[in-house]
Each structure stands twice: as C-alpha cells, then as structure tokens.
Structure 1
C-alpha cells in the first residue's frame, strides 16, 4: 500500500480523536448511553468535516444500485442506507482519488432473491460477487492499493456474512449477522448493522413510541417463528407457564402486525431471542417502541457497540439462563428499570430512519461506525 492524501487525512483524524478533550454537553446527545461521549462527538464532527465516499458505478440492477427493492421489511437497512448515501451531497464524491472510503452498492437480499430464490446453498451466489470484484479491481487500482481495507459493503440478509467472507473479507463489512464464531464477524474490522423492520416506507416513524412505564401492564413479551434452536427452549420454559411472561409462537397475522406492536408498546421487557442467526429485528423494534430489550444471543455483537454503552439500556441474558429468566428480570430494581427505560428513549434517535437523514440518526450512525472503524485501523507509513 502506498500512502495517499486521503490516508494522511485519516491519520490526522485518528490523532485528533485519540486526543479528544472533554467536550461541553450537547443538548442533542445523552452521555449516559455512550462509552465516551467526547470521543464520539469528536469523531462524528470529523466525519462530517472530512469523509468522502466514492460509490462504484459498476453493477447491474436489481442486485446493485436499486435501493427501492429493499425499503420495507426486516432487511430494509441495506436499502435505506444505499438510497440515503447515494443522494448525499455531503459525503459522496465523484472523484475516487479524493475518497477515504469506497462503497460496494449491492443488496444481499436482492442477490438471494434474484440468483437463488429457492436455494439454501449460500455458496451458490459467491461467484457472482467474485466476478463483480474482479471487474472493479481490473477497472480501478483502489481495491488493489489497500487490499480492500478502505472498501465497505452494507448487507443485512443472513447470507451476507458467508457470501462475502471469502473474496471480500478484507473490506469493512457492515452486516446484521454478527456472529463472531459461526459467521466470521471480525471485531475491530467489521461493523454491526442494525436490523430494522420498516413497516411504513413512506413514513418510517409512523407508530413510534409506546406507553409510559406506569401503563406497561405486561412484564415480559416475546412472539416469533421457531427459527433455530434457542426459541423452542424459550417456549418450552415459558409458554403458558406464568401469567407475567407473555411468551408466544408467531402471533396471528393482522394488518401491520398490530397485535405484536401493541404488546411491544405495553411491555416492560421485550425478549430479543436469536433465531437461525444471532441477529433479530426485535432489538431495534424494542427501542422503537420504548421497551427495554432483553437480548438472548451469546455471540451477538450489538450495533454501534464501539460507541454505545449497551448495558445502560439493555439486558443481556446468557442462553443457558433461560430457565431463570423471570428471576433475572425481577432482580432489576424499579429504579434501575426506570433508568433503563429513560435511556432507551434517549438512545432511540440513533436507531430511526428518516425520509431525509438528520444528524445522529441511524444513517449517520451506520456511516460513523464504518468511518470510525476505518480511522481506527489506519497506520502511519
């Protein structure tokens, strides 16, 4: 790798972040939900001031460059991010030599839907991505210059970790499947992408929020399909076993999942149990509906973990402790629960999609995670 002007700018940013001083309070940020509010603020400011992203033009729709196909449902993060980055006048550059990061604009959901709609063979789609990577590495010298270290992708489908591991494993992978053991998620290089279930693409904030603590009459709630090994264990222990524990299989289908949403809005604790993979849209849904998330997924790396203090607003329960789940939650004092509830409300802004991005929202937080990861890994030459 030979240093460029962009590399030098990244190195300067790294030094400024490492030497961040305690900053004054920002009325739009809450220190209680951050690991270090000063470092986050400085890094975010430098991202806004410095970062330029080049988006590769190569690639055919609908797998590449078609965000509208992935704007609804549980994989919507990849579509919303693609659309909002493509239209950004702040971060996008048409001059690749100015770029600090290079975006590979593909949809893992559309790759599966287009090439392997009836298959469970994850390897079957890898050659398509390999051909794409060969194309951009032959056309440009940027991938080869860094070995892909300044390239990134944003992909939420469960297959994304496997389909990108072999040939794109050197780049920053913002993925929802963050299993550090089975999916090959690499701490310090990859980014945990929030899995967001967007029900109303025209107005993603519709139905935001929930009831105040005094009116949350359900102690604990879960409902979902029986994917994977863990949820059947949860059901065996708690389905119809205790009136305080509203633990169900998938609820009957109604318009806009309103019965499921009503439970989330009325519960103190919302169980986010892993399915076939470690990730679940329930983590962000709980925050959206202001229910304290209870994460049961041993190898899950939560979104924005590099800057957010997840234990300030979420409960982590080891998988082996499912039989003791109620006692664990009952052991949380009311004062602590109210604290966590308030912090869920405070951190909520970082997990919201807006039709047009706003400061500190989920679009900017995803981009910041990618920026922060790249800056952290840059070294002097």
Structure 2
C-alpha cells in the first residue's frame, strides 16, 4: 500500500514534465512556423511595436531656413514626407527625436556653424550631445576635427542612401534609405532566366559577369532599357543580381516585389542594408562573395532551389511593401496606413530612441551656457 501511495506523486511529476515538454515543443513549433511565414526579425512583436510607434512617436523639426536642397530625389522625398507627417510636434518637450535639415551642398564649415548656433540657441543638443537628433545625408559624414561635426557624426543618427560610401556608416546607429523603385508586378508568364543583371560593367565585376554571360540561363544587360523592359525581365527571372556598391540601375525593392530573389555579390561585409533592424535578410536574399567568380555564383543559385527558394520568394514579396514610397497615397488603400518606406525608416528611428542616455538636468542646463 505504501509503495502505491509513493508511486502517485511520482506519476503526477512525470505527467507534469510531459505537459511542460509538450507545451515547450508546441511553442517552439509555433515560433518556427512564424519564422517560416514572416520576413521580420521579431514576428510576434514587430506589428504591435510598429502600431505603437505610429500612435506615439513625436518628432520636433527645427525651422528649416532657408529651405534645404538635396542632391538625391529620395532625400527630398523623405524630407517632404516628414514635414507633412502627423508625427511632428511643435512642442519640443514632447519630442522623442529632433530633425536637422542639412542641405546637401552645405560645406563642412557651414554645417559646423549651424550646429554651433543650434546649441547656443536651444538646450536640446547639449542634453545628449546630439544623440537624439537625426539628419539626412546621402553621401554621409566623413572624418572631421571640428567638435560640432565630431558630435554630429559620432552621436546623431545619420540617414544615408543605400549603398553608403565605405567608412561613412556606423552600424546600430545609422540607417539607410531604400532607393526609389519602378512599378514592378509579378509576371504570370513562365520564368525564363535563372539570373538577371542590369547595370554598368567595369572593375572587378566584369570577371564575374563574363563567367555568366556565356550561360544561356543568365541575362546580362548593360545598355539602357526602358522601365517596362526592366520590369518584365525582373519578373521573368528567378534571381536578380546586384553588385554591392556598384551601379544603381536596378533596385532591390523592385526585385522583391517582382518575385525575383535578390543576389547581393560583394567583396566586403555589408553593414548598411535597408531595414536591417526589421527584416531577416538571409531569408529574403542570397549573399555571395566576389572571389569565386561566375562559377561560384552559378553554384550558389542552383543550390538555392525547391522549398527554400519558394519560401525566400514569398517572404521577399511580403517584405517588398516596406521598399515602396507612397507618392500618391495609393499604398494606404492597398496595405493600410504606415507600411511604406518612409514610415519603416521612422520605425528604425523609433527603436533607436532607447539607446539615448540623457545627462542630468543640471549638467545640460549649465552646459547650454558654455561658449563653444
């Protein structure tokens, strides 16, 4: 009898372990399934956090006088979209971040003078030495010795154009703008090419392209094409080839939207991918080194097939909405408010607000009166 009584608690203990194991396995499978069907780094938290950002993010814009001029259309589009955004606030005390309007043609000396005047006129820069400020610069900030420029480069969030100039991007602080894309729709016709490249040739990429050009499964176009031809060839190809840092004729976003898996070929680590804090890039794009030439590219692409390719293609199409710029408000009708490129860039700014460390009030109040 005593042995039976002793066995009951042991039985319950084993049942409890079994339940815990079953729950853990189900949770793990749910997470795995979520990862397989979502292009996001954190599928369960991205959308709630994104909507929270849309409802709560506040940005203060210093009066842009004179009106800034930018060298790249995507810089202008971001700036104009921000000035029309309902996320702006006229009360700096409510702001999470502060926007600096710095024209593309502004010299280093003039930029330093602008920061110097800003820190003397307002207290906000000195609170964090610019860490809660952001600015747009397609070319990025180079190495400077002036204190104001050093703080701007080291502390402030820089929004650059992808791909950035080497040495002018600080990972985990800076972000990149996705380029403007053509309107590419997925083709209903059968795929015709394994790989498609459209862009200039030269330098080290010619060796890779020469190894692909002789293969009928690859289409290499270096002469100008109209947008319709480019869109048609993208949608008829399984993979679209990009050489990192070289040529901008074809855009990653339009490849994703057209169902063409991007292949990024590079001779160095890539640290500035658009929406690197949001998307699981290894699940929507293929990355290949330059060293193996065209044969290595072919080997990698032919190995990426079956279910893996189909999954990458579908996840890429889901992610493509974040690369579209809402020129006319039509995206809001198709996807709902806020899933365009502009708001996804803002989301990256939003999550960076947690890295800002404010000085004690008495420190930054007194520093506001220090001569700089």
**Which of the residues 157, 173, 188 maps onto 1:189?**
173
Asked whether the 8 Å contact 1:231–1:275 carries over to 2, the reply is: no
Quickly say closer, same or farther: Cα 1:33–1:98, change in 2 above 3 A.
same
1:53 offset after TM fit, Å? 0.2
Query: Which residue in 1 is equivalent to 2:16?
Result: none
Counterpart secondary structure, 1:317: strand
TM-score norm. by structure 2 comes to 0.75
Counterpart secondary structure, 2:291: helix
Q: Deviations over 1:198-228 (max 9, x none)?
A: x5xxxxxxx331214x62212101121236x
**Is residue 2:307 matched to residue 1:335?**
yes
Query: Which residue in 1 is equivalent to 2:262?
Result: 293
Counterpart secondary structure, 1:129: helix
Quickly say closer, same or farther: Cα 1:296–1:39, change in 2 above 3 A.
same
**Which of the residues 235, 248, 256 maps onto 2:209?**
235
Which 4+ stretches in 1 moved above 3 angstroms?
Answer: 163-167, 177-180, 376-381
Q: Distance in 2 between matches of 1:78 and 1:145?
A: 27
Counterpart secondary structure, 1:54: strand
**Which of the residues 350, 359, 362 maps onto 2:338?**
359
Q: Distance in 2 between matches of 1:327 and 1:379?
A: 51
Query: Which residue in 1 is equivalent to 2:253?
Result: 284
Query: Which residue in 2 is equivalent to 1:48?
Result: 54
**Which of the residues 246, 260, 267 maps onto 2:230?**
260
Q: Distance in 1 between matches of 2:83 and 2:54?
A: 16
Query: Which residue in 2 is equivalent to 1:303?
Result: 274
| Equivalent residue runs for 1:19-38 within 5 Å | 32-38=38-44
Q: Distance in 2 between matches of 1:137 and 1:56?
A: 12
**Is residue 2:123 matched to residue 1:138?**
no
1:45 offset after TM fit, Å? 2.9
Q: Distance in 2 between matches of 1:37 and 1:362?
A: 18
**Is residue 2:140 matched to residue 1:160?**
yes
Equivalent residue pairs, number: 315
Q: CA RMSD, aligned part only?
A: 3.1
1:104 offset after TM fit, Å? 1.4
Q: Deviations over 1:227-270 (max 9, x none)?
A: 6x4433333332x3111111232x2354xx33222211211100
Q: Distance in 2 between matches of 1:143 and 1:361?
A: 30
Query: Which residue in 1 is equivalent to 2:367?
Result: none
Asked whether the 8 Å contact 2:322–2:339 carries over to 1, the reply is: yes
1:345 offset after TM fit, Å? 1.4
Asked whether the 8 Å contact 2:261–2:316 carries over to 1, the reply is: yes
Gaps of 5+ in 1: 1-21, 64-68, 116-124, 200-206
Q: Distance in 2 between matches of 1:147 and 1:310?
A: 33
Q: Distance in 1 between matches of 2:143 and 2:119?
A: 18
Counterpart secondary structure, 2:197: strand
Counterpart secondary structure, 1:93: coil
Counterpart secondary structure, 2:219: strand
